[in-house]
Amino acid sequence: MTTTTRSAPDASDALAPETATAVKALTQEVLQSFDQAPARLRTLLQSLVGHLHTFVLDNDLTEAEWRYAIDFLTRAGHITSDTRQEFILLSDTLGVSSLLDLLTNSRTPESTPSAVLGPFYVEGPPNLPEGTDISGGHLDGDPVLANITVSDLQSRPIPDAVVDVWQANQDGFYDVQLPDLEGPVLRGRLRTDTKGRLSFWTILPAPYPIPDDGPVGQMLSAVGRHPMRAPHVHFMIAAPGKHTLVTQLFVEGGDYLDSDTVFGVKQAITVPFPVQNDPPPNGHVAPWRRLDFTFHLADQT
């Protein structure tokens, strides 16, 4: 295979000529060490090395600063568990998750906008019947009747689409953050009917802080950023022949819409949850709200 030739980053003018030469030679040597890798892996690793070396040079990074960075990542690894993903939080708060989301959504621009997955999705949520109350009917918060339709880009209904839904409680906690809970709460898997529709009850989502007792929270505190997310409900929707849609519906008028700590809010998925004046069905307590929304899925290509 032909050796890839890449330009090493330019050293700072403050570097002595012999040091600048050594820096360029070192970077080039590292870049060339990946020349035999498969094409996509080679591209990614060489780009990563080039950017990292440039970052070190541009910021005149010290060994103490680099050790702190390694310690930060080590602590993120230590706090990560089956129910806590600190690296996703880091990706989210640095805007990388939302950047990837924008790139992904740009490939299917006519579909409902996507949004970040977040760190609290759990594989294999419980299968729930039509009309179920994912809150269990006993949590604080305004009851919400969600009427959801799933269709293709031509507004044709998609039957038997798999719809995963999950959200935090009124205090800002997901069920996986509450070890004393018995079984999943405020999450489940439903399927659309022959007309692409489904409904379920939940509670009005509230703004909440991301877990800020670890390295990511310390980073936010150090730079004067708050850890709050705008109120939202998560959805993941899959159907044969369609792109799986991962998205969120944000509460119109909710707090932190303009400063969501993971940069996830989009206007097209910020929707009303209007208060209803008629008596709530199925024994729910007033006040109650509605959520009516149609998701549009793009074809796989």
- CATH code of 164's domain: 2.60.130.10
The answer on 121 and 33 residing in a single domain is no
**Residue 126 predicted with pLDDT over 70:** yes
Residues 48 and 132 in one domain: no
In total, the chain counts a number of residues equal to 301
From the candidates 232, 243, 289, 296, give the one annotated as an active-site residue. Answer: 232
Percent of the chain surpassing pLDDT 90: 79
CA–CA distance, 110 with 245 (Å, rounded to integer): 12
Is-catalytic flag, 234? yes
Residue 44 sits in the same domain as residue 108: no
Catalytic residue list contains 189:
no
Of residues 252 and 119, more confidently modeled: 252
pLDDT at position 158 is: 98
Read off the pLDDT of residues 283-297 as tens digits, 9 standing for 90 and up.
777 789 999 999 999
Among 53, 187, 229, 243, which one carries the catalytic annotation?
229
pLDDT at 9: 47
| Mean model confidence pLDDT for the chain | 92
Residues 98 and 208 in one domain: yes
Domain-located, residue 73: no
The answer to whether 40 is a known catalytic residue is: no
Task: Answer yes or no: is 184 within a domain.
Answer: yes
Q: Stretch 183-207: mean pLDDT, rounded?
A: 96
Which one is catalytic: 234, 243, 289, 296?
234
Name the residue range of residue 290's domain.
87-297
Is residue 207 in some structural domain? Answer: yes
State yes or no: pLDDT of 77 exceeds 50: yes
Same domain membership, residue 273 and residue 151:
yes
- Is 174 one of the annotated active-site residues of the chain? yes
In a shared domain, residues 39 and 185: no
Regarding whether 169 and 283 lie in a shared domain, the answer is yes
The active-site residue out of 53, 174, 187, 296 is 174
Instruction: Give the chain's domain count.
Output: 2
Q: How far is CA 49 from the centre of its chain?
A: 26
Inform me whether the pLDDT recorded for 22 exceeds 90.
yes
Residue 81 placed within a domain: no
The answer to whether 241 and 175 are in contact (CB under 8 A) is no
- The active-site residue out of 53, 208, 243, 296 is 208
Residue 284 appears among annotated catalytic residues: no
150 and 41 in a common domain: no
Rounded to an integer, what is the distance from CA 87 to the centroid of its chain? 11
pTM reported for the whole predicted model: 0.87
